């Protein structure tokens, strides 16, 4: 069965340092996609980064990068040079399957709360 696991309920990081948020997944599909979202205390869900299962390179978007290890079924989010505004809850999510007819349904992990210390 499809499953996403985020084992870190809460984390702290010093401002300007890098931090890694863990995400492991379980799926029997060969084609799938992994997403990371940020949820600040104001409550909105903000899309950060996407990794496709067939992508040859790890995804990067500004200060966000995804450490994708397919054999280990992990898709960890790396935030470089943390800022106070990075304090939020972070969710890893997976889309199972692919192709033009895919419905795009996501399953989410339980989330990791990140606090950036000044």
Partner 1 sequence: DAGITQSPRHKVTETGTPVTLRCHQTENHRYMYWYRQDPGHGLRLIHYSYGVKDTDKGEVSDGYSVSRSKTEDFLLTLESATSSQTSVYFCAIKGQGERQPQHFGDGTRLSIL
Which residues of the shown chain bind partner 1 in the complex (CB under 8 A)? 4, 33, 35, 37, 43-45, 47, 50, 52, 91, 93, 95, 98-100, 102-111
* Cα angle 47, 51, 54; round to 5: 155
Residue 20 structure tokens: 């890694």
CB of 95 to partner 1, least distance (A): 7
Q: Which is nearer to partner 1, 14 or 57 (CB)?
A: 57
CB of 117 to partner 1, least distance (A): 24
Q: Which is nearer to partner 1, 68 or 91 (CB)?
A: 91
CB of 99 to partner 1, least distance (A): 7
d(CA 92, CA 22): 9
Nearest to 76, CA basis, from 84, 89, 67: 67
Q: Which is nearer to partner 1, 17 or 61 (CB)?
A: 61
d(CA 11, CA 55): 29
Residue 100 structure tokens: 């033009």
């Amino acid at each position: 069965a499809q499953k996403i696991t985020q084992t870190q309920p809460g984390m702290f990081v010093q401002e300007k340092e890098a931090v890694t948020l863990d995400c492991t997944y379980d799926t029997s599909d060969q084609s799938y996609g992994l997403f990371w979202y940020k949820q600040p205390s104001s409550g909105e869900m903000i899309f950060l980064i996407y990794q496709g299962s067939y992508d040859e390179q790890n995804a990067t978007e500004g200060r966000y990068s995804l450490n994708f290890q397919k054999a280990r079924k992990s898709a960890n989010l790396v935030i470089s040079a943390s800022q106070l505004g990075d304090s939020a809850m972070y969710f890893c999510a997976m889309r199972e399957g692919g192709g033009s007819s895919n419905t795009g349904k996501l399953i989410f992990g339980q989330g990791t709360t990140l606090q950036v210390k000044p």
